[in-house]
Amino acid sequence: MNQSMRAQTGTLVLATSGVQLAVGFLGTFISLRVPLENFSATMSALVLSGYYAGYTIGAVCSARLIERVGHIRAYAALAGLAVTSTAIMPLAINGLAWLLLRACTGFGCAGLFVTTDGWLNAKAAPNERGRVLAIFRVGIFIALAVGQILISQVDIRGPAAFNISVAIFAMALALVSLTRAEPPQIAAATSLPYGQLLRGAPVAAAGAAISGLLTGAFYTLVPAWMQERGNDRATIGLVMLAAVFGGLAFQIPVGRLSDRVDRRIVLAGLCVGLVCTSIALVHLPRTLPAVLPTAFLFGGFLSTLLPVSIAHAHDRMRGERIMALSGRLILLFGLGCISGPLLGTVFVVSFGIDGVLYLIAAVALVLAFFAAARSLTLEAAPRVERGFGIVTPAAPLVTRDPTPQS
């Protein structure tokens, strides 16, 4: 990697890691702050889902903005949207306002990740792309972990968390706006009707949607429930941090396993792991020595559902539809993330956190049976030579055509 490419990569990785730090920090903060406001249960769930709704729309629509104005201008506009919407939140403490503002933040952040992901994929040399993207994903995961640690250092009722997030977003905007890197060209994507996706890769479609549902339910509802039960923010941060580290630790081993074994069997195994850890979290003593290892395993199983589903989809559907396929899977994941807090809130109100954990176990079990049944009735597709991307809880994978680009 030459010095110029190293500098470009360093700038983009630093800026995007900052965005992820702000996203992870602000996401956990909002899940803790919403119960302290006088919002109804329904409005609280909508606010928690708002970020994912905006993220889903942004992931699907931001490519057009990038094509129209270019990478750097699109990045500046989207970061500005994230800055503005976050800065307004402490000035407009209202359920509907927060729902719209969180959606705007999600839209902006999705565009930032799409911009950076495409930029790095297009500009990295073919023999360096894997290393560059690995650095990019690991940087994002580290930032997400730091965000969980910082949550114990702020006043939940004050504006400090909003101001910190605004400052981090602004730093990322300044870094990318001042970069001397030449942005890549973007090719138009081919459309893919959902009917073709469901017929061609039904397990991948179900896996993406269910992964989003479980991710949205866990990462938005568990911190709020822990706070209501009197846990301090340091303890909450440790539990969420364990789940994040589990996600990081499982990515490469599960990716390698899925390259050797039918991905549907791997997906079914991950779901069985989720069922076991969810039930264990219900029945184990709720002490840190018991919860932290279980949360680590839970986060590992949960965070690998999406990349395995995406890899299986690309095995089944190749060629010029690869970009459209990525967009469809991102949309399904986002719709799942939106529905997770809404559906999970119903179970929290009725059964407490045990209800959410049983919901996760039940949905994961359904996916396990479906994936296993398909593996028994349909032969596995030949594998595609492509990397297995590391996926963060707050930033779904944006996959790219593995064909080398100039």
- Does 261 share its domain with 124? no
| Greatest mean pLDDT range, 184-188, 199-203, 208-212, 286-290 | 208-212
- Provide the mean pLDDT of the chain: 80
Q: Are 106 and 50 in contact (CB under 8 A)?
A: yes
- Does 240 share its domain with 389? yes
- Does 122 share its domain with 176? yes
Q: Are 34 and 43 in contact (CB under 8 A)?
A: no
d(CA 27, CA 362): 26
**The amino acid at 34:** V
- Does 332 share its domain with 230? yes
The total number of structural domains in the chain stands at 2
- Does 105 share its domain with 9? yes
Confidence band for 405, pLDDT divided at 50, 70 and 90: very low
* pLDDT value of position 383: 53
Least confident of 129-133, 226-230, 276-280: 129-133
Q: What secondary structure letter does DSSP report for 381?
A: P
Q: Are 154 and 160 in contact (CB under 8 A)?
A: yes
d(CA 381, CA 317): 9
Domain boundary among 132, 162, 181: 181
d(CA 67, CA 40): 41
- Does 69 share its domain with 215? no
Q: Which strand (E) or helix (H) includes residue 314?
A: helix 305-316
- Does 139 share its domain with 210? no
- Does 9 share its domain with 153? yes
d(CA 174, CA 62): 20
* pLDDT value of position 332: 86
d(CA 34, CA 27): 11
d(CA 191, CA 195): 12
d(CA 291, CA 280): 9
Strand partners, 392: 395
Mean pLDDT of all residues in 4-22: 75
**The amino acid at 225:** W
Q: Is the pLDDT of residue 262 over 70?
A: yes
Q: Which residues contact 263 (CB under 8 A, 6 or more apart)?
A: 308, 311, 312, 315, 380
Predicted structure pTM score = 0.74
* pLDDT value of position 406: 34
Nearest to 111 by CA among 79, 89, 134: 79
* pLDDT value of position 207: 93
Domain boundary among 181, 210, 235: 181
| φ, ψ at 395 (rounded to 5°) | -135, 90
Computed over its alpha carbons, how large is the radius of gyration of the chain?
20
Q: Is the pLDDT of residue 10 over 80?
A: no
- Does 240 share its domain with 353? yes
- Does 106 share its domain with 211? no
* pLDDT value of position 209: 92
The pLDDT tens digits of the residues spanning 111-155 come to 887 777 666 656 555 455 545 655 666 677 777 778 777 887 888
Domain boundary among 146, 181, 216: 181
Domain CATH code at residue 81: 1.20.1250.20
| φ, ψ at 258 (rounded to 5°) | -70, -15
The pLDDT tens digits of the residues spanning 311-356 come to 888 777 765 555 567 667 777 888 888 888 888 888 888 888 888 8
Q: Is the pLDDT of residue 402 over 50?
A: no
- Does 221 share its domain with 175? no
Can you give the residue range of the structural domain that contains 193? 189-406
Confidence band for 387, pLDDT divided at 50, 70 and 90: very low
d(CA 25, CA 165): 8
In the block, residue with structure tokens 């991102």: 330
- Does 160 share its domain with 286? no
* pLDDT value of position 121: 58
